[in-house]
Structure 1
Amino acid sequence: MNFKKFKMLGLTLGLGAMLAACGSESATPANEGETNNNTETTTESKEINLAYVEWDTEIASTHVVAEVLEGIGYDVTVTPLDNAIMWEAVASGEADAMVAGWLPGTHAAQYEQYKDSLVELGVNLEGAKIGLVVPTYMEANSIEDLTDEANMTITGIEAGAGVMSATENAIAEYENLADWELLPSSSGAMTVALDQAIKNEEEVIVTGWSPHWKFASYDLKYLEDPKGVFGGAETINTFARQGLEEDMPEAFKVLDAFQWTSADIEEVMLEIHDGADPEEAAAKWVEENPDKVAEWTKDVE
């Protein structure tokens, strides 16, 4: 696999500068090198930019899709972005597609803002969920059971993430959380804090979502949410920029067909958690699941 990857150096990087770099590396004007012959067809672009937010689920799914697209001849750039910028990038056409839209709750605000500028290809994974997660050894089973556990602190991820906004709403809605604090961090820092607390059998409450490798690695439970602040089951959805179907019809077909299960994605996430590079984990999964990949590529000529 040789697809290109851009690392975010910080959220202070602007969208234009970030994706201008992508363009300078991989984008070639569609008409460059063409002669003036009056041909009726043009060559499909083979360079595609997939945007994603650096959550474990999206790292796994984006790299698997990139591996499949590489296999049918595309030159793939995968670009990690802040959540809001990811949506803006695809809506504006700076990125070509994403397989990272959590609906109906987590990304509701971004979906409402950008849906008219996007092509919605549908669900690629069902049964996703967000909420507050604790080790099973803790006595609390509901958000309403919380009193002063974990120093009245919830360990979160990146500020602005959907689960963070939902947790802020939970603190406002549940009277017993009135004096609690939501501590922003990152997805990686959250799992480190979870791991350290469990090793010491300490109380810890984190913002959680599934599918995620942590549920296979630790004995965890979601706290019940009687007020329904975190919503019900979520789906992860695929979105493309307008015009992608015309510009890259084969890639569009693969993106449109892409759908897998929680068990599938957790295999890739566990490989990455155990030390594999995302590219290596994706390549291994693709090699070991030819029937599923064949379903995604069956309409590609």
Structure 2
Amino acid sequence: MKKGLGLLSLALVAALAAGCADKGSEKKEIKLAYVAWDSEIASTNVVKTVLEDKLGYDVEMLQVDAGPMWAGIADGSADAMVAAWLPGTHASYMEKYQSEVDDLGPNLEGTRIGLTVPEYMNVSSIEDLAKADVAKSLQGQIIGIEPGAGIMMATEKALEQYGLKDVKLLESSSAAMAQQLQSAYDKQQPIVVTGWTPHWMFAKMKLKYLEDPKGVYGGDEQIHTVVRKGLKDDRQDAYAFLDSFNWTPDDMAKVMVDIQEGQSPEDAAKAWVDSHEDQVNAWLGK
């Protein structure tokens, strides 16, 4: 009988040890939501690289439009994003979901959105687009990005506020918009696009924002990090890093330009992380 109890005790100890080993080897997983804007591709891949290489996470990147990105953080189907443009561009999403998410504050200062044209164009204000000859030269088009993006909603409002009845906003994607801009720029043709900074196109081309006297597009903005409720409790190291993540438009532009010149987002992000060890260690509290 004592021998049987001894074997049973050994079996229990073995089972407990196995359980502890399984718990210790449990995968660390995290899901990052982002929109396919060049700026957010850059920032999300840098965050992914740090989470994987420095903190040992398996990272899943979820490319979605702005609305589903916010909804995913709010309902917990995604863990975090570093792509919230506030206070203006994503104001409607923040108003809707602010009680269901945690805003960790800005990770980048000094962003801007607005209608953008090449410097060679003889227009200076959104009001100029109401002129018949200007609208005709543009074939009555403003080249936009994905539907549902904050800049698209602002541009629809601008068309109304400035009485641009002869100009239509075309839905596209950020990549297609940039390609059309580059093509028109190379040919010195007139074009108006929905633009924002930071973006590699400002480093590659001489561009300008059209003046916005009615203030439809607001002023300078920030990009915020927003995470799901509960992340601080069950992913403490990831939360601490995301809370500390902060960089500059020049940092972001370096990654964006490298991607635009042919590097994969993963390689461009890794190269930046590897060459900014002190900055990355500061994010990690080292």
TM-score of the pair, normalised by structure 2: 0.88
What amino acid does structure 2 have at the position aligned with 1:191? Answer: A
For the residues of structure 2 that align with 1:238 and 1:35, how far apart are their CA atoms? 39
Q: Establish whether residue 86 from structure 1 lines up as the match of residue 69 from structure 2.
A: yes
What does 1:26-37 align with in structure 2 at a 5 Å threshold?
none
Confirm or deny that 1:129 pairs with 2:117: no
Residue identity in the other structure for 1:204: I
Instruction: Answer yes or no: is the 8 Å Cα contact 2:27–2:58 preserved in 1.
Output: no
User: Residue 163 in 1 paired to residue 151 in 2?
Assistant: yes
- State how far apart, in whole Å, the 2-side matches of 1:48 and 1:272 are: 24
In the alignment, does 2:47 pair up with 1:65? yes
Equivalent residue in structure 1 for 2:34, among 52, 73, 77: 52
**Aligned pair 1:99/2:100, yes or no?**
no
Are 1:272 and 2:254 counterparts? no
Deviation, 1:36, is 10
Instruction: Give the total of aligned pairs.
Output: 263
- Once the two structures are TM-superposed, the CA of residue 239 in structure 1 deviates from its matched residue by 0.7
Distance in 2 between residues matched to 1:38 and 1:155, nearest whole Å? 57
Which structure shows the higher helix fraction?
Answer: 2
**Pick aligned residue for 1:292 from 264, 279, 283:** 279
User: CA 1:150 to 1:35, structure 2 compared with 1: closer, same or farther past 3 Å?
Assistant: farther
Q: 1:75 aligned to 2:58?
A: yes
Instruction: Tell me which of 190, 193, 215 is aligned to 2:180.
Output: 193
Distance 1:38 1:157 in 2: 50
The Cα shift of 1:267 comes to 0.4
Once the two structures are TM-superposed, the CA of residue 35 in structure 1 deviates from its matched residue by 5.1
1:172 corresponds to which residue? 160
2-structure distance, mates of 1:253, 1:144: 46
Residue 38 of structure 1 and its aligned partner are, at CA, apart by: 11
Larger Rg, first or second structure (1 or 2): 2
Deviation string 1:230-259 (CA, Å, 9 cap, x unpaired) is 011110000111111110100000000000
Which stretches in structure 2 are left out of the alignment for 5+ residues?
1-14
Q: Distance in 2 between matches of 1:98 and 1:286?
A: 18
Q: Name the CA distance, whole Å, in 1 between partners of 2:27 and 2:183.
A: 47
Instruction: List alignment gaps of at least 5 residues for structure 1.
Output: 1-33
In structure 2, C-alpha distance between the alignment counterparts of 1:223 and 1:50, rounded to whole Å:
34
Distance 1:285 1:37 in 2: 40
Q: Quote the offset at 1:153 in angstroms.
A: 1.1
Checking the alignment, whether the CA contact within 8 Å between 1:45 and 1:248 is kept in structure 2 is no
Q: Give the whole-Å Cα distance in 2 for the aligned partners of 1:162 and 1:239.
A: 16
Change (3 A) 1:101 1:201: same
% same residue: 51
Find the aligned partners of 2:237 and 2:272 in 1 and give their Cα distance. 21
Structure 1 contact 101–107 (Cα < 8 Å) conserved: yes
